[in-house]
């Protein structure tokens, strides 16, 4: 499939049906409005056959290279039709199901994710296991009918809105570290699951604590082998740093375009915008190389830590430039535009934390890519 021809077909469609795709709110909107908009856009893309591009036919897709998915998300995000991070969650969860679920399970659930009829969350981080997933303690114990899960997850994005959760739980001893973890997916309305939303700096309750108290899960909901959950996690995270990062880059370019369009009258503007442009160009170039490896069927590994460092750097730089060149807008502005800039600036502060902290990523780059030795 020719990417350029497909892009033209998609952009023509988005132009023709612009009113149908457009948000019904101004600025950032509330979290509920953002998620309603996300479901609407995904449903429209599915209805018109675009959400299927780049996904295997065996899970309801229409085939073609992964770059097609990247392009669709790029166009949607660049038009500010959805929150980039929410749209890109599909790019981490669906490939993981395709890789580790049975063919019939993948064929059943992946179309629901692609079409927006279901939302899934990712139960990885815990209060004492953020970037160090190997230390997680949420435990799954086998019983006659499957497994019983007890423990807690934290920073579980959109779990209060989700129908299902892809969960990592310890099935080995604490000392087994990454060798004693198993992956499951479970229904969020299962008895014993309690969700407590957590408000972030912007005031949105995008994250939540999730508690599991004697939650019964059939063994058919296990992904991969027992004690093989680390492989699931290491498959999911690189997907987060490939197609999803391409979408994120499109979002950041759109924000830099808005800064330039406002023509800030500041003698530092050209220098600051140039710095942000350079950071974004480096990120986009690196992200393109990662997508090309994905298209060739290559395994994505520790080298995607470079992508994560570049993404966090570029994101924070773009919003630092906006705050500098539009003094007072984020601090005291009270219209919808100011609120959106404020929310996005505050969220950018977490770019060096979520998905693996900057310190952890630099450790991986040093130890596993540059062979600078083990930690002492």
pLDDT at residue 234, as a whole number: 85
> Domain holding 20: CATH number?
1.10.540.10
Q: Please give the positions annotated as active site.
A: 240
pLDDT at residue 376, as a whole number: 55
Q: Is residue 320 one of the residues assigned to a domain?
A: yes
CB contact at 8 A, 365 and 305: yes
Q: Identify whether residues 168 and 256 lie together within a single domain.
A: no
pLDDT at residue 26, as a whole number: 85
Name the residue range of residue 309's domain. 241-369
Choose one of 227, 252, 273: the last residue of a domain.
Answer: 227
Regions of the chain where pLDDT drops below 70: 1, 375-376
The DSSP letter of residue 200 is -
CB contact at 8 A, 119 and 154: no
The region, left, alpha or beta by phi > 0 then psi within -120 to 50, assigned to residue 54 is left
Q: Identify whether residues 222 and 248 lie together within a single domain.
A: no
Q: Identify whether residues 265 and 171 lie together within a single domain.
A: no
Q: Identify whether residues 16 and 88 lie together within a single domain.
A: yes
Q: Identify whether residues 74 and 127 lie together within a single domain.
A: no
Cα–Cα distance measured from residue 124 to residue 288, given in angstroms and rounded to the nearest whole number: 27
Q: Is residue 299 one of the residues assigned to a domain?
A: yes
Q: Is residue 155 one of the residues assigned to a domain?
A: yes
Choose one of 118, 144, 166: the last residue of a domain.
Answer: 118
pLDDT at residue 313, as a whole number: 96
Q: Identify whether residues 112 and 223 lie together within a single domain.
A: no
What backbone torsions phi and psi does residue 226 show, to the nearest 5 degrees? Answer: -60, 135
Q: Is residue 236 one of the residues assigned to a domain?
A: no
Cα distance between the two ends of the chain: 50
Give me the DSSP letters along 293-336: HHHTTPPP-TTHHHHHHHHHHHHHHHHHHHHHHSTTHHHH--SH
pLDDT at residue 375, as a whole number: 60
Question: pLDDT for 204-254, tens place per residue?
Answer: 889 999 999 999 999 999 999 999 999 998 888 777 788 889 999 999 999
> Domain holding 214: CATH number?
2.40.110.10
* Structural domains counted in the chain: 3
Q: Identify whether residues 137 and 220 lie together within a single domain.
A: yes
- What element of type H or E holds 198? strand 193-198
Q: Identify whether residues 14 and 54 lie together within a single domain.
A: yes
Q: Identify whether residues 359 and 245 lie together within a single domain.
A: yes
> Domain holding 330: CATH number?
1.20.140.10
Choose one of 118, 152, 175: the last residue of a domain.
Answer: 118
Q: Identify whether residues 273 and 223 lie together within a single domain.
A: no
Q: Identify whether residues 43 and 91 lie together within a single domain.
A: yes
Q: Is residue 264 one of the residues assigned to a domain?
A: yes
pLDDT at residue 202, as a whole number: 78
Q: Identify whether residues 64 and 135 lie together within a single domain.
A: no
Q: Is residue 334 one of the residues assigned to a domain?
A: yes
């Amino acid at each position: 499939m020719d990417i350029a021809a497909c892009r033209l077909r998609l952009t023509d469609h988005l132009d023709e049906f612009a009113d149908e795709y457009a948000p019904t709110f101004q600025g950032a909107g509330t979290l509920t409005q953002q998620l309603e908009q996300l479901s609407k856009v995904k449903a429209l893309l599915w209805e018109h056959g675009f959400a299927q591009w780049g996904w295997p036919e065996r899970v309801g897709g229409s085939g073609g290279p992964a770059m097609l998915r990247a392009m669709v998300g790029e166009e949607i995000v660049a038009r500010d039709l959805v929150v980039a991070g929410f749209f890109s969650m599909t790019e981490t969860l669906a490939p993981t199901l395709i890789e580790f679920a049975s063919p019939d399970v993948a064929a059943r659930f992946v179309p629901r994710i692609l079409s927006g009829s279901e939302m899934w969350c990712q139960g990885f981080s815990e209060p004492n296991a953020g970037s160090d997933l190997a230390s997680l303690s949420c435990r799954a114990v086998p019983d006659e009918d499957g497994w019983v899960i007890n423990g807690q997850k934290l920073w579980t994005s959109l779990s209060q809105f989700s129908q299902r959760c892809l969960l990592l739980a310890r099935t080995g001893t604490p000392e087994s570290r990454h060798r004693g973890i198993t992956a499951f997916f479970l229904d969020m309305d299962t008895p014993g699951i309690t969700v407590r939303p957590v408000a972030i700096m912007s005031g949105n309750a995008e994250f939540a604590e999730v508690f599991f108290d004697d939650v019964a899960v059939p063994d058919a909901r296990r992904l991969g082998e027992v004690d093989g959950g680390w492989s699931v996690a290491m498959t999911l995270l690189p997907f987060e740093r490939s197609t999803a990062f391409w979408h994120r880059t499109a979002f950041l370019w759109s924000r830099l375009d808005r800064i330039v369009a406002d023509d800030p009258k500041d003698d530092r503007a050209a220098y600051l915008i140039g710095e942000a442009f350079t950071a974004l160009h480096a990120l986009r170039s690196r992200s393109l190389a990662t997508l090309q490896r994905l298209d060739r069927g290559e395994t994505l590994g520790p080298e995607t830590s470079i992508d994560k460092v570049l993404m966090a750097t570029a994101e924070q730089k773009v919003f630092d430039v906006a705050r500098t060149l539009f003094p007072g807008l984020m601090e005291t502005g009270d219209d919808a535009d100011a609120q959106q800039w404020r929310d996005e600036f505050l969220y950018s502060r977490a770019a060096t934390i979520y998905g693996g902290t900057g310190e952890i990523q630099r450790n991986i780059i040093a130890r596993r890519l540059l062979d600078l030795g083990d930690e002492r």
